[in-house]
């Protein structure tokens, strides 16, 4: 038989260490919003654990009523934090959620103080529901790098749901919520309590797994991204172009590529400083991104040179897209401290994939050559590469059946 006092002492010590670690992680990784919610949930859970461990030494209104209320709040905060990792969107209907939680807590408080039977069910049932909802969120939305950890987390939460339901039924049928002294000698209560402690520790380990996955994903993204503009870097563009070329050869949907360059960029740096040049680069990317489709790829492939990969796009459509970008940039005015706004133009070259002319590398070379032709012809213009036989290219790219 587990000793009640020893169990809570060791559990409180271990949870204190884990809570401090999670709070430090949340503090040092403030951008990981989910960690803040989960750390807050752990703090609430630790307070609940201390109150519950003092059963018999403090009033039941603290060790029983308040402890159960904090338990539900801890699981709700945990659900919000886990949801952030796999959904990344603000929760809708938050005011309604707060109203429902407040109403449940008020009803439970009233029932507990008036010693109405089965008052604990007012919070035990929502607790089981929250565990189930958390597991469902992880299973439904846990994708990509979060697939494995989401499934493991869902299994742990389903375990929490089962044990919480069992303890709720046990309390309703065997014990009075305001007289829980006898539970210390009941093996069913103690072993289910130990199961909850074990699952709580497993869930903390799972949260750490979420954090490691998140940080690894951020590092991988940083390795693919230009730190100044937020566009992809050359390596990421090459990977995307290779992947898109392979796909287009299989399905016969040819991509198009735009190579563009800021006109007189060196003059801008020399006359207004490198900060002005950086502002122009950032403004260019911010202007282009909203104009792109979901599958389009934008990368900074040189100092002031950018490349846009347009999947399943004809040469004529690519030229129109490049012209829209050129016109938008020409009309752009970039605020720059208290000086006059920065104005600049671009020159762009467009080429479509021709499998007979070197795959995506050939497409990039031809688009680059067209861009330099636009430079030589007066800048602030778009130049297509010499047209090729599109039907012949499609035949080359078509899959062999």
DSSP state letters, 240-252: HHHHHHHHHHHH-
120: its two tokens: 């604990």
Residue found by looking up tokens 């900074």 in the block: 300
> How far, in Å, are 20, 87, 203 from residue 210 at the CA level?
17, 13, 10
Half-sphere exposure in the Cβ direction for 389 (13 Å, CA): 7
Burial 382-400 (b: 16+ CB within 10 A, else e): bbbbeebeeeebeeebeee
Note the residue count of the chain.
401
DSSP at 120: T
Whether the CB-CB separation of 337 and 362 falls below 8 Å is answered with no
Whether the CB-CB separation of 33 and 90 falls below 8 Å is answered with no
What is the set of domains in the chain, with CATH numbers?
4-223 (1.20.1070), 234-397 (3.30.70.270)
Angle at 116 between CA 115 and CA 118, to 5 degrees: 115
CA distance linking residue 381 with residue 347, whole number of Å: 5
Q: What is the reported pLDDT for 183?
A: 61
Local confidence pLDDT in tens for the 401 residues of the chain: 566 677 778 888 999 999 999 999 899 888 888 999 999 999 999 999 999 888 778 888 888 889 989 999 999 999 999 999 999 877 776 678 888 899 999 999 999 888 888 888 899 899 999 999 999 999 999 998 999 999 999 999 999 999 999 988 887 776 665 555 556 677 787 788 889 889 999 999 999 999 999 988 888 888 889 999 999 999 999 999 999 988 887 877 889 999 999 999 999 999 999 999 999 999 999 999 999 998 999 999 999 999 999 999 988 999 999 999 999 999 999 998 877 899 999 999 999 988 777 788 899 999 999 999 999 999 999 998 744 444 433 333 333 22
CB atoms closer than 10 angstroms to residue 60:
18
DSSP at 386: P
Helices 187-224, 147-174: axis angle to 10 degrees equals 160
Residue positions annotated with a catalytic role: 304
Whether the CB-CB separation of 342 and 280 falls below 8 Å is answered with yes
Q: What is the reported pLDDT for 63?
A: 85
């Amino acid at each position: 038989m587990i000793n009640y006092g020893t169990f809570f002492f060791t559990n409180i010590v271990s949870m204190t260490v884990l809570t401090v670690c999670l709070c430090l992680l949340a503090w040092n990784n403030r951008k990981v919003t989910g960690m803040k919610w989960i750390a807050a949930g752990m703090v609430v859970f630790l307070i609940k654990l201390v109150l519950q461990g003092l059963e018999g030494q403090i009033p039941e209104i603290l060790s029983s009523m308040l402890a159960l209320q904090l338990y539900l709040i801890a699981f709700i905060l945990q659900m919000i934090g886990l949801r952030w990792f796999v959904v990344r969107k603000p929760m809708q209907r938050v005011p309604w959620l707060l109203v429902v939680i407040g109403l449940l807590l008020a009803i439970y408080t009233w029932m507990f103080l008036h010693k109405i039977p089965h008052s604990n069910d007012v919070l035990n049932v929502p607790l089981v529901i929250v565990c189930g909802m958390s597991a469902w969120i992880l299973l439904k939305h846990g994708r990509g790098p979060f697939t494995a950890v989401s499934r493991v987390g869902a299994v742990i939460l389903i375990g929490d749901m089962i044990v919480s339901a069992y303890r709720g039924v046990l309390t309703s049928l065997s014990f009075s919520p305001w007289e829980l002294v006898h539970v210390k000698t009941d093996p069913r209560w103690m072993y289910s309590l130990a199961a909850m402690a074990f699952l709580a520790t497993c869930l903390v380990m799972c949260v750490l797994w979420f954090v490691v996955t998140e940080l690894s994903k951020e590092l991988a993204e940083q390795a693919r991204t230009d730190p100044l503009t937020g566009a992809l870097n050359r390596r990421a563009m090459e990977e995307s172009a290779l992947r898109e070329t392979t796909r287009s050869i299989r399905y016969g949907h040819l991509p198009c590529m735009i190579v563009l360059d800021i006109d007189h960029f060196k003059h801008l740096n020399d006359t207004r400083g490198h900060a002005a040049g950086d502002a122009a680069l950032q403004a260019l990317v911010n202007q282009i991104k909203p104009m792109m489709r979901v599958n389009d790829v934008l990368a900074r492939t040189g100092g002031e040179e950018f490349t846009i990969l347009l999947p399943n796009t004809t040469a004529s459509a690519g030229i129109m897209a490049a012209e829209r970008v050129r016109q938008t940039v020409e009309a752009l005015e970039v605020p720059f401290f208290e000086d006059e706004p920065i104005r600049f133009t671009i020159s762009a070259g467009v080429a479509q994939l021709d499998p007979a002319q070197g795959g995506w590398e050939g497409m990039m070379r031809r688009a680059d050559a067209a861009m330099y032709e636009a430079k030589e012809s007066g800048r602030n213009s778009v130049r297509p590469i010499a047209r090729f036989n599109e039907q012949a290219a499609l035949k080359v790219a078509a899959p062999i059946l």
